[in-house]
Amino acid sequence: MATNKLNPKFCDKAQQGNHFDGDGMYLMVTPDGKKYWRMACYLNGKRKQLSFGSYPKISLAQAREERRKAQILLAQGIDPIQQKQSIKQQQVQAEQKLAKELGNTFEQIARRLYESKRGRVTEESRDKMLRQFEIHLFPEIGHKNMAEIEGKELLELFRKVAAKTNHGRPMTYMAKKLCQWSAEVYDFAHVEDASFAINPCRTIVKHLPKHDTQHMERIAFGALGSFIVALNGYGGHSLTKAAIWMMLYTGMRQASIRRAVWRDFDLEKAVWNRRPEKADKEAHALPLPKQAIALLQEIRSLTGQGADDLVFPSVRSAYHPMSEAAIGQAIERMGIPMVGHGLRGVVSTGLNELGFNPRIVEVQLGHKKGDAIEAAYNDAKHYKERKKMMQQWADYLDKLKAGADIIPFQAMA
Helix and strand tally (H, E) in the chain?
18, 9
Residue 86 inside a domain? The answer is no
Residue 158 inside a domain? The answer is yes
Same domain, 143 and 265: no
> Cα angle vertex 319, ends 315, 321, to 5°?
60
pTM value is: 0.57
CATH of the domain at 16: 3.30.160.390
Question: What pLDDT score does 377 carry?
Answer: 45
User: In the chain, how many domains are there?
Assistant: 3
Question: What pLDDT score does 195 carry?
Answer: 75
Print pLDDT tens along the chain (413 aa): 567 889 999 999 999 999 999 989 999 999 999 999 999 999 888 898 899 999 999 999 999 999 999 999 988 888 887 888 877 777 766 666 665 666 789 999 999 999 999 888 877 788 889 999 999 999 999 999 888 899 999 999 999 999 998 766 788 989 999 999 999 999 998 888 877 768 999 899 999 988 765 545 678 888 888 888 889 888 889 999 999 999 999 999 888 999 899 999 999 999 999 887 654 556 788 999 999 999 999 998 888 778 889 999 988 887 888 887 888 888 888 888 788 778 888 999 999 988 999 989 988 888 655 444 444 444 456 889 999 999 999 999 998 888 765 545 444 43
* Residue that terminates a domain, selected from 179, 207, 235: 207
Domain hosting residue 166, numbered range = 101-207
Residue 285: closest CA among 195, 375, 385: 385
Residue 30 inside a domain? The answer is yes
CATH of the domain at 342: 1.10.443.10
Same domain, 31 and 178: no
Residue 2 inside a domain? The answer is no
Residue 408 inside a domain? The answer is no
Same domain, 299 and 167: no
User: Whole-angstrom Cα distance, residue 269 to residue 286?
Assistant: 11
Question: What pLDDT score does 83 carry?
Answer: 80
User: Whole-angstrom Cα distance, residue 355 to residue 102?
Assistant: 63
Question: What pLDDT score does 412 carry?
Answer: 40
Contact 209, 165 (CB under 8 A): no
CATH of the domain at 161: 1.10.150.130
Question: What pLDDT score does 94 carry?
Answer: 65
Same domain, 118 and 58: no
Same domain, 115 and 12: no
User: Whole-angstrom Cα distance, residue 46 to residue 393?
Assistant: 81
Same domain, 116 and 63: no
Residue 91 inside a domain? The answer is no
Same domain, 375 and 345: yes
Go through the chain and tell me how many residues it has. 413
Same domain, 239 and 340: yes
Same domain, 109 and 229: no
Same domain, 250 and 334: yes
Same domain, 291 and 389: yes
Residue 292 inside a domain? The answer is yes
Same domain, 335 and 229: yes
Instruction: Give yes or no for a cis peptide into 56 (omega within 30° of 0).
Output: yes
CA 206 to chain centre: 18
Residue 407 inside a domain? The answer is no
